[in-house]
A = this chain, B = another copy of it.
Amino acid sequence: MKIGEFSKKSGCSIQTIRYYEREGLLLNPNRSEGNFRLYDSKALKQLEFVKHCRSLDISLNDTKRLLELKNKPEESCSSVNALIDQQLALVNKRMKELRALKAELQQMASACGSNNTIEACGIIKSLDS
């Protein structure tokens, strides 16, 4: 299939597909007579793997590492495990940050007092301190 169909089947934009290729996350596909990229179902599987990693917020670099590891089936999976643990730690850290953000934003929202002038607004006051 050509890139248009590949794009629709995978749910990735054409530009993103070409970008992934440049970055080494997709193998260079065969080309048609007129230099069009031609993909098969194996390429589709690989792209779906990448998409799954990205949906977990795993960076392209780490995704690339996972792809490489995937091609060494006999090696120990400890580095795979470490990578996921690290990703989990990252998510936990960000969640903690967001909880703090949320608390402060809520407090600010309730400090507004509505229908105030900006001068009297509790939000601006708390941002200013």
Q: Chain A interface (Cβ within 8 Å of chain B)?
A: 45, 49, 52-53, 56-57, 66, 69-70, 72-78, 80-81, 84-85, 87-88, 91-92, 94-95, 98-99, 101-102, 104-106, 108-109, 112, 114-121, 123-124, 127-128
A123 to B70, CA, bound (A): 10
Q: Which residues of B contact A53 (CB under 8 A)?
A: 127
- A109 & B92 in contact (Cβ 8 Å cutoff): no
Complex Cα distance A105/B83, Å?
A: 10
30 A-B pairs whose Cβ atoms sit less than 8 Å apart in the complex: A52-B127, A53-B127, A56-B104, A56-B105, A57-B101, A70-B124, A70-B128, A75-B117, A75-B118, A77-B116, A77-B117, A77-B123, A78-B114, A78-B115, A80-B123, A81-B109, A81-B121, A81-B123, A84-B105, A84-B112, A84-B123, A85-B109, A88-B106, A88-B109, A91-B98, A91-B102, A91-B105, A95-B95, A95-B102, A98-B98
